[in-house]
Structure 1
Amino acid sequence: MLLLWLTACGAGPSGDTYPVRLNSVGFLPAKAKIATIIQPCSQFEVKRLADDSTVFSGKVTGPFHQKDVNQNAWLADFSAFADTGSYYLEVPGVGRSVAFRISDDIFRFPYKTAMRAFYLWRCGTAVEGDFNGNHYAHAACHLDDAYGDYTGQKGVIRNGTGGWHDAGDYGKYTVNAGITLGTLFLAWEQFRPALENVKLNLPETAPGFPEYLEELKWETDWLLKMPYPDGSGRVSHKLTRTNFAGFIMPEDDKGKRYFTEWSSAATADFAAVMAMAARNFQPYDSVYAKKCLTAAKNSYAFLKEHPEMKPFEQGDFKTGAYKVKSDKSERLWAAAELWETTGEPAYLADFESAVPDIHPPLIDSDWDWGNVKNLALFTYVLSGRNGRNADLLNRVQKAILANADTLVAKGRRDIYGRPLAGRYYWGCNGTVARQAVNLQVANAISPNRAYTNAVVSIADHLLGRNVYDRSYVTGIGFRPPMHPHDRRSAADGIEEPWPGYLVGGGRSATNWQDKQSDYTTNEIAINWQAALVYALAGLVN
């Protein structure tokens, strides 16, 4: 049996809220520590949980009014206090916070739980794990993936087993797999020493691989089945039923599933991810790495021969569309990753010649699967290869740093430290987490404590320092979501949902609701999850 050891931190009675709001999991000793207080106050005290003794005190700042949540807030900054232990904040005349810890390893458990959530998403195999006294499991599922009716093989089942279920449903989507794996590979490339030291307790499905890469290989194995069998390099946009299954366990989903027609966005995302896989898997399986690189080159060559955008049309399908308005960012990303993996000048030339055509701004604060140019530009800037255009490199570096400065400023102006200040939409929590990528890449270029503290603020916000005074991650922190839009959590007969998943968040500042039926605010998805893993990975010691 595989264990999701330990228990959730900071859990309190259901329905409780506190006027003193903070990261209910805790803080790193040397990083920022800020609480938001929504009642008038002037001072605060940090008290030791064991004996209620005061170990630190200070004055609050504020009040600050924030229109979107219609609240006045006062901020308690206790960043100067660095002693490890368990504490709570006491605010005279207001009350106290939930308990929290200060520790060098405070983000290990949330990171591990969030990363293991990908294992629990696996399709085509049985999975199981224990968490907080519950045993989560499902049997092997979707073993008939999938029919080739829409790719010229009517009635023929072609092997499309494996991979991760995409979200609260059981579909598998190439475009969303692209940004997900791209974010996860980048986390490994940036934070590998720390991540290697976190044991994930995964089943051995790729002997010799580090556990982290072993999980990524599960998804990569599936993606390698998505190109058309004719060898053209075209890649199916998704593998799903024509409509969503009901709220049943995955092994009970017996509906026919299909490879869909290809799209140029899916083909480019595939090429980019396979290039990343090739260089990251090379030390552990050179034959497999070569297979990934060959697939990447083949799909890229097809795109070069067919420069026109090929959109995906839903047709008979009512599952997730993942339609992009333009495939320029995906093609740009494919060129960047193939150059980084191979060093071949032709890929670099393709990338550098395409940068002037991308839609401004050069670096986006708000990005997701529909626009992956940031990943392309981050790979270009972080590369150790020679041959880059010095003027373009300087321009991209400046844009990344200016963007990070903007994110820091926005986070500081938001009473809950949210750098996506003022913007809300389906899946916006994923974007909040993904802004950690912008900040950590900027920090790699020009180390700045403000950048890493802004990443801490992102984690704080997602784990309890928000208008709801709740964690957004199932099983973690104070009053975590109990009813995510997730078919397994709805169908398994266990009250607590499957653990470690980031829910999407409100489509306005105050309309998130913890309701299973509300997929627009309470669904889970692999692209948001990868962003959460990345944000936490940069804080793991």
Structure 2
Amino acid sequence: MEQITSLLSICAAIILGFSGCSSQKNISEIKLNQVGYYPQQEKVAIWEGKFSGSFKVIDATTREWVMENKAGVNVVSPWNDKIRTQLDLSRITYPGEFILVVNNTEVPFRVANQALKPLAQAAFKAFYYQRTGMSIEQPYAGMWSRPAAHNDNRVLVHASAASQSRPEGTIISSPGGWYDAGDYNKYVVNSAYSIGLIQAVCQMIPDYMASLKLDIPENTNKTPDVLDEMYYNLKWLLTMQDSVDGGVYHKLTTPDFEVH
């Protein structure tokens, strides 16, 4: 469970969709883990509202009955006074694809030995899509491929960051790194913080992190893909340091804060 907690603290909240739900009109009445449960962990779903009847779980492939249980306690939210009902699915302790059936509403869910692995791979692969200064190619990016942009081989030192060794207007090279979010800028604090967190997790669970295959251009070397991706931005961070006085610029930005 310590590994699960560590991984969730780093991964972005990426929801993996399911298909094949036969009743969609009331699906919002049920809340459950859409990524997946581990076989031995507690499994709880939530019914939005008061419910005192029984629910059942069926096999998603065979449609055969797997388990039936009575609804759990009704809990009143202290923030909005809404009533929610707990549904305990913990009797299912083996991997598979299942469907929770409550009051004629069907919602699929998954139990797997590596339930969070697809989430982890998707979260860390997101950094690849943020790369600057190189083409994001179709074999690795699919529909999100794009040409290279913002090579940043010739950037100017701003007046606010000028020093005696690098006065305003000094041209330096600072290629690579990651776009920050929805803009074309690169930030030292934000990306260094991300690297620090992820490298800490790599130290905590090295075997698991090394097992994540991100399908990035460096995936044929002997370095774990997650570390390859961190190294891409780390190389850029080194270009943001003034080699004379040791100071570090905090960001590289377009003149008018362009967004995409």
Using structure 1 for the length normalisation, give the TM-score.
0.41
Counterpart of 1:169 (choices 179, 183, 192) is: 183
Overall identity of the aligned pairs, in %: 27
Deviation string 1:472-518 (CA, Å, 9 cap, x unpaired) is xxxxxxxxxxxxxxx3xxxxxxxxxxxxxxxxxxxxxxxxxxxxxxx
Matches within 5 A, 1:219-230: 219-230=233-244
1:31 equivalenced with 2:45 (yes/no) = no
Q: d(CA) in 2 for partners of 1:212 and 1:196? A: 7
Q: Match for residue 244 of structure 1?
A: 257
Distance 1:134 1:39, change over 3 A: farther
The yes-or-no answer on 1:99 pairing with 2:108 is: yes
Q: Which residue identity lines up with residue 83 of structure 2 in the other structure?
A: N
Q: Which runs of 5+ in 1 are unaligned?
A: 1-7, 247-486, 488-541
Deviation readout 1:388-425 (Å, 9 max, x if unpaired) = xxxxxxxxxxxxxxxxxxxxxxxxxxxxxxxxxxxxxx
Number of residue pairs the alignment of both structures matches = 236
CA–CA separation in structure 1 for the residues paired with 2:26 and 2:170: 55
Give 1:127's aligned residue.
136
Please report how far the alpha carbon of residue 190 of structure 1 lies from its aligned counterpart in structure 2 after TM superposition: 1.1
Distance 2:31 2:104 in 1: 11
Instruction: Check whether the contact 1:128–1:135 (CA below 8 A) recurs between aligned residues.
Output: no
2:70 maps to 1:59: yes
After superposition, the Cα gap between the structure-2 partners of 1:174 and 1:15, relative to the gap in structure 1 and judged at 3 Å, is: farther
Q: Find the aligned partners of 1:211 and 1:134 in 2 and give their Cα distance.
A: 18
SS at match of 2:206: helix
Q: Judging changes above 3 Å, is the alpha-carbon distance between structure 1 residues 242 and 67 closer, same or farther for their aligned structure 2 residues? A: farther
Counterparts of 2:55 and 2:67 in 1: how far apart (Å)?
9
1:176, distance to aligned residue in structure 2 (A): 1.2
Measure, in 2, the Cα distance between the counterparts of 1:16 and 1:174. 45
Alpha-carbon distance in 1 for matches of 2:46, 2:175: 47
Regions of 4+ moved over 6 Å:
12-16
Q: How does 1:366-385 map to 2 (within 5 A)?
A: none
Q: Please tell me whether residue 141 in structure 1 is matched to residue 155 in structure 2.
A: no
What SS class does the counterpart of residue 30 from structure 1 fall into?
Answer: coil
Verify: 1:218 aligned to 2:232, yes or no. yes
Aligned with 2:94 (options 73, 80, 83): 83
Where does residue 189 of structure 1 map in the other structure? 203
1:179 paired to 2:198:
no
C-alpha deviation, 1:106, in angstroms: 2.4
What is the CA distance between 1:244 and its match in structure 2? 2.2
Distance 1:181 1:97, change over 3 A: farther
Deviation at 1:90, TM superposition (A): 1.2
Residues 18 and 98 in structure 1, CA contact (< 8 A), matched pair in contact too = no
* Alpha-carbon shift at residue 98 of structure 1 (Å): 2.3
Q: Aligned residue for 1:252?
A: none
Separation in structure 1 between the aligned mates of residue 20 and residue 28 of structure 2, nearest angstrom: 10
| Residue 69 of structure 1: how far off its partner (Å) | 4.8
Aligned equivalents of 1:205 and 1:212: distance in 2?
A: 10
Contact 1:45 1:90 survives alignment (8 Å): yes
Residues 26-425 of structure 1 correspond to what in structure 2 (within 5 A)? 26-42=36-52, 43-91=54-102, 94-129=103-138, 135-144=143-152, 146-150=155-159, 151-152=161-162, 153-204=167-218, 207-230=221-244, 232-246=245-259
Shift of 1:16: 7.0
Q: CA deviation at 1:220?
A: 0.6
Bigger proportion of residues as strand? 2
Name the SS for the 2:258 alignment partner.
coil
**Which letter does structure 1 place at the counterpart of 2:231?**
K
SS at match of 1:26: coil
Letter in 1 for 2:39: P
Q: 1:315 aligns to what?
A: none
Deviations 1:210-248 (A, max 9, x none): 211111101110111111232x221111111243214xx
Q: Which amino acid aligns with 1:195?
A: M
Taking structure 1 as reference, are residues 19 and 129 closer, same or farther at Cα in structure 2, changes over 3 Å only? farther
For 1:331-376, what per-residue CA distance to the aligned partner results, in whole angstroms no more than 9, with x for missing partners?
xxxxxxxxxxxxxxxxxxxxxxxxxxxxxxxxxxxxxxxxxxxxxx
- Residue type of the alignment partner of 2:156: Y
Take 1:25 and 1:226, find their aligned partners in 2: how far apart are those partners? 38
Q: Name the TM-score, length of structure 2 as normaliser.
A: 0.81
Letter in 2 for 1:115: F
Match of 2:56, SS state, is strand
Q: List runs of 5+ in structure 2 lacking aligned partners.
A: 1-15
